[in-house]
Amino acid sequence: MARPASSITSTSTTRIEGWPVKDETAPPRTTPIQSATFTDPINAEIRRAAATGIYDIRGGGAKRKVPHFDDLLFLGASISRYPLEGYREKCDTSVTLGTRFAKNPIELDIPITIAGMSFGALSGPAKEALGRGATLAGTSTTTGDGGMTPEERGHSDKLVYQYLPSRYGMNPDDLRRADAIEIVVGQGAKPGGGGMLLGQKITDRVADMRNLPKGIDQRSSCRHPDWTGPDDLEIKILELREITGWTVPIYIKVGGARPYFDTTLAVKAGADVVVLDGMQGGTAATQDVFIEHVGQPILACIPEAVRALQDLGMHREVQLVVSGGIRTGADVAKALALGADATAIGTAALIALGDNDPKWEAEYNALGTTAGAYDDWHEGNDPAGITTQDPDLMARLDPVEGGRRLRNYLNVMTLEAQTIARACGKSHVLNLEPEDLCALTMEAAAMAKVPLAGTDWYPGKPGTTF
């Protein structure tokens, strides 16, 4: 039995008033160890679930660390490769999407587009800012699950109109006003899932556009109401082409589920463009469990989609647009090197507009979060005024200034991609190729199908035994 602390013989150590006295004679005790399985966040979620009985809903994409473009490096030029002069020699960035069937393909100045995000999830000024920024940068922006707004159409030189399972706001007039149509089968944040927009954001205008009662928690269906498979989809595309006179490209967007087969079937169904969205791609709102546990990283999806296109003899005939965690010009360059024709950004574009800006830290704190971690986009309280329908918050975003910021960001990404392409000796960013890359990790090497750095090998390489 341990003796009481008061009976311990005094030592030379100065005793601090109020601190517990260490029992030097007690047997050693086990250091408290936090579980790697039952972590603080997991335990907090268990307690939250037990208290509320409802799953966690949030916006954004996967937050877990997954193999990504950061795990790839460009080799650059050396004796065996000849670089282009970094600031003077031409390195083209233009991309044409929709060359397969459409009479009027979309010509973009840069290989970075703005992904679909709905009016409703985003404010009207935010949609306007996206249109302005994309137009200034010479690229396209995309509607979302909620229809086409006049602000967005009016400020978007090239606007892609999403054709979604919910068909909220869908009408033939807007369809004919679009520069391209994107049939959304799925998205990276939630392949196999539908959307949701909680009642806080269903204002009169949003409700009217969606034919819904004001203030309800709105659910979007997970699959299209009038077709069920690739054979049906082919006929659906025929109908859309007949309604639009075969003028505009038709994209098919899929989440990163089974990219080889999805790409194959999209091409078979008649797509001009395949849009492939990895699990890091954001959403306005869905279950956290869906975001973090369904779908594949974009790095794993691109090579499989490219392989499908190559097997069909359609690589570069049907263009591939990829998204999900694109943040920098390096990400863009790596995606193109793996075989994509263009990229799309969503979350990054919102950050460029001001989302999660530390200048709103006090307000993020008041919402129980911090800048950089704010993801309750569905609640409509966004201090940055982007993912909200609150008039006072919306007014914080100046769409002209927002558009300028987005233009700047797109320009920087483009310059970065050009810098890398020139270093690899490419006069067009689309000339980047897998041969320009190596991988830092075994996982990235296996997914990207490029050699592990310092080797000529990657897991699964044909002709190798392991």
**Candidate segments 47-55, 84-92, 299-307, 399-407, binder of another protein by CB under 8 A:** 47-55
Q: Which is nearer to another protein, 25 or 247 (CB)?
A: 247
* Residue that has been written with the tokens 């100065």 in this structure: 14
Cβ-proximal residues to 454 (8 Å cutoff; 6+ apart), any chain: 438
Running DSSP on this structure, what letter comes out for residue 89? S
Q: Which is nearer to another protein, 232 or 401 (CB)?
A: 232
**In angstroms, rounded to a whole number, what is the distance separating the alpha carbons of residues 174 and 169?**
9
> Residue 184 in 3-state DSSP?
strand
Q: Which is nearer to another protein, 204 or 239 (CB)?
A: 239
Among left, alpha and beta (phi > 0; psi -120 to 50; other), residue 411 is alpha
**In angstroms, rounded to a whole number, what is the distance separating the alpha carbons of residues 384 and 395?**
9
**In angstroms, rounded to a whole number, what is the distance separating the alpha carbons of residues 115 and 188?**
12
Token pair in block for residue 229: 């498979």
| Binder among 1, 33, 36, 54 for another protein (CB under 8 A) | 54
Helix intervals (H) in 150-197: 150-155, 172-177
**Candidate segments 107-115, 151-159, 171-179, 336-344, binder of another protein by CB under 8 A:** 171-179
Find the shortest distance in angstroms from Cβ 172 to another protein: 4
**Binding of another protein by 268 (CB under 8 A):** no
Q: Which is nearer to another protein, 59 or 281 (CB)?
A: 59
**Binding of another protein by 172 (CB under 8 A):** yes
Half-sphere exposure of 240 (CA within 13 A, CB side): 33
Q: Which is nearer to another protein, 226 or 401 (CB)?
A: 226
Strands 342-345 and 319-323, sheet pairing: parallel
Q: Which is nearer to another protein, 176 or 396 (CB)?
A: 176
Find the shortest distance in angstroms from Cβ 55 to another protein: 9
| Binder among 35, 52, 80, 465 for another protein (CB under 8 A) | 52
Find the shortest distance in angstroms from Cβ 225 to another protein: 4
Running DSSP on this structure, what letter comes out for residue 139? -
**Candidate segments 143-151, 209-217, 361-369, 433-441, binder of another protein by CB under 8 A:** 209-217
Beta strand extents in 314-435 (DSSP E only): 319-323, 342-345
| Binder among 77, 99, 101, 199 for another protein (CB under 8 A) | 199
What track of x and - describes contact with another protein for positions 219 through 258 (by CB under 8 A)? Answer: x-x---xxx----x--xx-xx--xxxxx------------
Q: Which is nearer to another protein, 207 or 326 (CB)?
A: 207
Beta strand extents in 342-463 (DSSP E only): 342-345, 437-439
**Binding of another protein by 33 (CB under 8 A):** no
Cβ-proximal residues to 255 (8 Å cutoff; 6+ apart), any chain: 185, 186, 187, 188, 189, 190, 191, 192, 277, 279, 281, 295
Number of residues that bind another protein (CB under 8 A): 33
Q: Which is nearer to another protein, 54 or 362 (CB)?
A: 54
**In angstroms, rounded to a whole number, what is the distance separating the alpha carbons of residues 299 and 293?**
16
* Residue that has been written with the tokens 């990895």 in this structure: 278
* Cα separation of the two ends of the chain: 59
Residues lying near another protein in the complex (CB under 8 A): 52-54, 57, 166-167, 170-172, 175, 198-199, 210-213, 216-217, 219, 221, 225-227, 232, 235-236, 238-239, 242-246
